[in-house]
Structure 1
Amino acid sequence: MGSTTSCCVSTSPKIRRNAHSRLESYHPEPELSREDTGCNLQHISDRENVDELNMEYNPSEHPRASTLFLSKSQTDVGDKRKSLFINHLAHIGESKHGTTRRKHSSCSTIFLDDNTVSQPNLKYTIKCVSLAIYYHIKNRDTDGRMFQEIFDEMLHPLSKSEVPSDYNKHDPEQKQIYRFVRTLFSAAQLTAECAIVTLVYLERLLTYAEIDIAPGNWKRIVLGAILLASKVWDDQAVWNVDYCQILKDITVEDMNELERQFLELLQFNINVPSSVYAKYYFDLRSLSETNNLSFPLEPLSRDKAQKLEAISRLCDDKYKDVRRSAKKRSASVDNLCGVRWVPAILS
């Protein structure tokens, strides 16, 4: 499959070996084009430089490109800032009356949230991802972009209950999206990192396939992204038949077809660089702060402080080892010290 014609018309190595063993002159067959062979498979070399300019602005590919959900939420930033300002004034008034609700760090107590880029908080990460999906649906483009049939809930319902005629006209609430995502993650026992990768795949699908997530297709798009992210991220992935145990009325054949078409629309690009993952994590935190969705704060305990100190000491030791090895590999004149000039003795 590495060649453009090897999968269709090239002779096998065994036939070539037999031809040379009989000392006969071997004449290779002429190269045929894809049109002549009827093979329309895209060669991997044809995909290396495709849309390199657009990739720089694709948030799921480039770490410096702004995420789509954060830009979608900017339309409501004005109202959110007003509410945050009102809440801030309310907290100031409460502090004057001695009923402070917010937790602040002091010399004796330090408050930290149980949420890091390497170990995100599962509950609040799912809330932030659901909020990002909500803004995608609410502030979607209405220019008649392509609508994939595999994601249409009328053609592929997730339950046996009758789909209402106006299923694609009413935007879902954030709580409804959160309940749907939380149910899948809880039943399949998925991690918070998988939720971030799910959002990356979702935005990559919207960019690659040039479609919008709407009230009539959001459930199946989210399901396909979760299905793919769980298999890529987790070592012991959930099988498609296991999702059929969660969603009782969906068939394995439908799940397989959903996964296959999702991969095709992604052009089988399931790689998520660490820089892109970190960008989505911090943008989700920014989205939570804008929407007054704060992560729970906990006082820094003695055990956690000792663990943080041990991790910091370990990182410091590794950094020192790297610097020592670097000096041994390439010692410059600036690093040489204590070198004294010794006169030569001529005998």
Structure 2
Amino acid sequence: MGGSVSCCISPGESPKIHRRELELEECPITTTEDVSEDTGTYLQHISDRELPDELAQEANPSDHPRASTLFLNKSQTDVREKRKSNYMNHMSPGLLSKKYSSCSTIFLDDSTVSQPNLKSTIKCVALAIYYHIKNRDSNRSLDIFDEKKHPLSREKVPDDYSVVDPEHKLIYRFIRTLFSSAQLTAECAIVTLVYLERLLTYAEMDICPCNWKRIVLGAILLASKVWDDQAVWNVDYCQILKDITVEDMNEMERHFLELLQFNINVPASVYAKYYFDLRSLADDNNLSFPLEPLSTKRAQKLEAISRLCEDKYKDLSKSAMRRSVSADNLVGIKTAQAVLS
């Protein structure tokens, strides 16, 4: 994953927007070995703060691959109601429009865990946030994320801003605007959802109508800095949203990091879990990922990749066999020497 997380207060623009090439200056990295024992300074290792496996999985699902994601649990009530309604009305939504492979045509999904489809992933993340808001337990929040106390635009915030749940389309448009303007990737959207759920768990708060925009913005800001080596600066988000200030962005970023206890690590297993749970959410809500017919060119490319992987597997098998034979020979020689002596 990408570079370090820091608050940017430069009045200029980041290299992410215009794709400028910059020379990176090497900065000294301070490690625990640089700290003298005489100073008495003790840096607590992250493993010292970890909870037992069973307790940690229950408390922090964004940290452990076996714990169920919060958004999938939040969506189950609505999914069950939809299935019950479809069963009562003898309806099968989405089945007629879904594409299936045949003898003459093979349809492939272009979205994979390593290269997710951007548009579909953002739609699924927006839907996950929608269920978080709709099926929230309460309205616990913090002032730093309250949109009325820290508005994102000069437009007057409606009086009912804290009670009217946003629609899925509104959430999707907000996220899509940020991702399109900042040129962010689909992987960043998945990491954004991980940070969002980690915030709700660690800070024991809820995402609700009054704070969802600022929480999502903070999660995107942090995810882009962690995931992308060439991250978007805080000042660039001010140019996208126009009326927000750099100082406000910096303050929100500091609070977000403190509430996460500076735990910005996302294991590959957790990332994969969120990806596949988002796909499950899409299936439950008839949000199909794009399917494309298998072309001759793509079939040849897949065949070449398959041959390459097969050759690598054969080489590894031969190497392992040679090592095994060498070990057996060595054991035999040592045994013979022991008998002769």
Both structures adopt the same fold (TM-score exceeding 0.5): yes
Q: Which residue of 1 aligns with 2:159?
A: 165
Choose the corresponding residue for 1:88, options 88, 92, 106: 92
Distance 2:295 2:38 in 1: 67
Q: Scaled by the length of structure 1, what TM-score is found?
A: 0.78
Indicate whether 1:285 and 2:287 are aligned.
no
SS in 1 for 2:253: helix
For 1:118, the equivalent position in structure 2 comes to: 114
**In 2, Cα distance between the equivalents of 1:46 and 1:64?**
20
The worse-fitting range, judged by mean Cα deviation, of 199-208 and 324-333 is 324-333
| 1:254 alignment counterpart | 248
CA apart distance, 1:313: 1.7
SS of residue matched to 1:88:
coil
RMSD: 2.7
Q: Which runs of 5+ in 2 are unaligned?
A: 1-29, 330-341
Scaled by the length of structure 2, what TM-score is found?
0.79
State the match for 1:102 in structure 2: 98
CA-CA distance at 1:251 after TM superposition: 0.4
- The aligned residue for residue 265 of structure 1 is 259
1:303 to 277, 297, 319: 297
Corresponding residue number in structure 1 for 2:322: 328
Query: Where does 1:1-150 land on structure 2 (aligned, <5 Å)?
Result: 43-45=43-45, 48-53=48-53, 54-57=55-58, 58-82=60-84, 86-88=90-92, 101-142=97-138, 145=140, 147-150=141-144
Distance 1:324 1:150 in 2: 60
Q: Does the 8 A contact of 1:167 with 1:215 survive in 2? A: yes
Report if the CA contact (8 A) 1:130-1:181 is conserved.
Answer: yes
For 1:55 and 1:231, the matched residues in 2 are separated by: 26
Matches within 5 A, 1:196-211: 196-211=190-205
1:90 and 1:62 mapped to 2: Cα distance? 33
Q: Give the aligned partner of residue 239 of structure 1.
A: 233
Amino acid at match of 1:73: S
- Counterpart CA distance in 2 for 1:327 and 1:260 is 54
Corresponding residue number in structure 2 for 1:154 = 148
Contact 2:93–2:286, Cα closer than 8 Å, also in 1: no
Helix, strand or coil: the match of 2:48?
coil
Shift of 1:87: 4.5
Q: 1:81 is matched by which residue type in structure 2?
A: R
**Cα offset for 1:277?**
0.8
Deviation at 1:50, TM superposition (A): 3.5
Q: Say which one has the larger Rg.
A: 1
Q: Shift of the alpha carbon at 1:171? A: 0.6
Instruction: Note if contact 1:81-1:290 (Cα within 8 Å) is conserved in structure 2.
Output: no
SS at match of 1:262: helix
Deviation at 1:84, TM superposition (A): 5.9
Q: 1:112 offset after TM fit, Å?
A: 1.4
Amino acid at match of 2:278: L
Higher relative contact order (CA 8 A, sep 6+): 2
Residue number in structure 2 paired with 1:317: 311
Q: Return the alpha-carbon distance in structure 1 between the equivalents of residues 115 and 106 of structure 2.
A: 20
Q: Is the Cα–Cα contact under 8 Å of residues 2 and 43 in structure 1 kept in the other structure?
A: no
Report the secondary structure of 2:65's partner residue.
coil
Distance (Å, rounded) in 2 between the aligned partners of 1:90 and 1:305: 28
- Measured in 2, the distance between the counterparts of 1:330 and 1:61 equals 39
Task: Summarize the Cα distance change of 1:123–1:84 in structure 2 as closer, same or farther, 3 Å threshold.
Answer: farther
Q: CA deviation at 1:269?
A: 1.0
Distance 2:178 2:50 in 1: 35
Counterpart-to-counterpart distance in 1, 2:320 and 2:205:
50
How far apart are residue 2 of structure 1 and its match? 7.0
Number of positions where the alignment pairs a residue of Structure 1 with one of Structure 2: 295
Amino acid at match of 1:151: F
CA shift for structure 1 position 332? 8.7
Shift of 1:89: 7.7
Instruction: Give the conservation status (yes or no) of the 8 Å contact 2:62–2:197.
Output: yes
Counterpart of 1:256 in structure 2: which amino acid? N
In 2: Cα distance, 1:207 partner to 1:315 partner: 41
Q: 1 CA distance for matches of 2:193 and 2:111? A: 18
Q: State the SS of the aligned residue for 1:298.
A: strand
